[in-house]
Amino acid sequence: MEDSKEVTMQDLLSELQILKDRTTQLENARQDQLSIAIISGDMDKIMAGMIISLAAAAMDTKVKLFFSFWGISALRDPKKKAEGKSFISKMFGMMLPKSKNKLKLSKYNMLGMSPVIMKKLMKEQGVMSLDEMFKQAGELGVEITICEMTMNLMGFKKEELIDYPNMRIAGAATFVADAGESAMQWMI
């Protein structure tokens, strides 16, 4: 009779160890990492993504941004040109803002005056400009991935993008993998 109790106790201890191991795996599955998909090309939404990214990076959280669709406009360098673009690619290039400094606000754009007013208020209040935010993000190691499919679809080329130290071009699967490792995932 005592042997059956001892086996049962051993079984329970074994099951407890398995549960502890699984708990440890789950705890380690998510890193102190923030992944944000930025699909909007609106100034206020890009600013929100950058402000949150800078705050997280300043708190030693790894930050990975995935720019897709209209958000890529913020990464265009107005001084750079790309050769060999199709007619449709050239049209997208003409219709979309050609830098983070040409973005409109998502609401109450007031014929383009709102971004000017917002930038003036930011300067008066000592808030970093988008240029300064991107510079600091690069210094803090914030990674930017640009959606390859969207670049191809809209006709953007690597040579017309900003210089940024931690930038790569990859597919959506890369963002999904990054987000899967992250304790926080957002979409803007």
Does a structural domain hold residue 142?
yes
Contacts of 159 (CB under 8 A, 6+ apart): 80, 81, 82
Instruction: Note the pLDDT of residue 28.
Output: 61
Residue 1 counted as domain residue:
no
Q: What is the mean pLDDT of each run of 10 residues along the chain (188 residues)?
A: 64 84 69 93 95 97 96 94 86 84 83 86 93 97 97 92 96 93 90
Domain extent at residue 149: 30-187
Residue 170 contacts residue 145 (beta carbons within 8 Å): yes
CA distance linking residue 156 with residue 179, whole number of Å: 25
147 assigned to some structural domain: yes
State pTM to two decimals: 0.80
CA distance 156 to 135: 22
Do the domain assignments include residue 106? Answer: yes
154 inside domain: yes
Q: Is residue 35 a part of any domain in this protein?
A: yes
Number of structural domains found in the chain? 1
Question: What residue type is assigned to position 64 of the chain?
Answer: K
Examine residue 4 and state whether it is found in any structural domain, yes or no. no
The answer to the question of residue 9 being in a domain is no
- CATH code at 105? 3.40.1260.10
Residue 85 φ then ψ, to 5°: -90, 145
